């Protein structure tokens, strides 16, 4: 058995979310400042099922969540079928996109593939509640915020691992699950 404090402290969303303390930061996409090649690089360098979209890196304000597979399909389609979409085209997830100078490449509007209300909890939410929400709402992932800023993500698999860990530490908990 682990130290007693494992039992006296409740596990919170911040203890289960990724990234962990020394991990690289969350991979996010900004709503109006990344190019097609920036986003393709993210798709190629990571295997996550989805990416939070934020107002800007500095603000870390959450705008929505975009699935990796929807991004791949939309960019592939746009490159094939939409005139003027090149590596340096800016991707917009915003409602309105600014008028571009005549010489700049066409922009790629992807607001339609954005989930504008992904489920979020604060970092202080007890995991018991998070587990309950995942079960009842059938969530695939949930974003974690602190003071309105995006902090991390918890996937269904993260929740399942957390439950498995609890069961190992505390055999009685199996009876309740
Ligand atoms: P799964 O948890 O089903 O393997 P993912 O491949 O999306 O789903 O996530 C793998 C791990 O990476 C999980 O622990 C998750 O919390 C974390 N993760 C998911 N999306 C991101 C992201 N955009 N940036 C950083 N970490 C992420």
Question: What ipTM was predicted for this assembly?
Answer: 0.98
pLDDT digits (tens, 9 = 90+) for 58-85: 999 999 999 999 999 999 999 999 999 9
Residues enclosing ligand 1, CB less than 6 A? 18-19, 26-27, 47-49, 51, 153, 155, 157-158
Give 47-115 as a DSSP string: --SEEEEES-TTT-BEEEEEEHHHHHHHHHHHHHHSTT--TTPEEE-SSS-PPPPTTSPPPEE-GGG-B
Q: What pLDDT, on the 0 to 100 scale, is given for residue 83?
A: 92
Q: Which of 153, 156, 159, 161 to mutate to test the pocket of ligand 1 (most atoms within 8 A of CB)?
A: 153
């Amino acid at each position: 058995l682990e130290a007693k404090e494992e039992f006296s402290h409740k596990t919170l969303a911040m203890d289960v979310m990724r990234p962990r303390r020394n991990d690289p930061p969350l991979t996010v996409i900004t709503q109006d400042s990344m190019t097609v090649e920036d986003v393709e690089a993210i798709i190629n360098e990571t295997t996550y099922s989805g990416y939070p979209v934020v107002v800007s890196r500095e603000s870390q304000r959450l705008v929505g969540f975009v699935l990796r597979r929807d991004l791949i399909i939309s960019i592939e389609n746009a490159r094939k079928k939409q005139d003027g979409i090149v590596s340096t085209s800016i991707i917009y997830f915003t409602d309105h996109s600014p008028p571009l100078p005549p010489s700049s490449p066409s922009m790629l509007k992807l607001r339609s593939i954005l989930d504008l209300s992904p489920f979020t909890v604060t970092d202080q939410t007890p995991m018991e509640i998070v587990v309950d929400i995942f079960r009842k709402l059938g969530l695939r992932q949930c974003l974690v915020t602190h003071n309105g800023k995006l902090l991390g993500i918890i996937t269904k698999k993260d929740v399942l691992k957390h439950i498995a860990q609890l069961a190992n530490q505390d055999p009685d908990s199996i009876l309740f699950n």
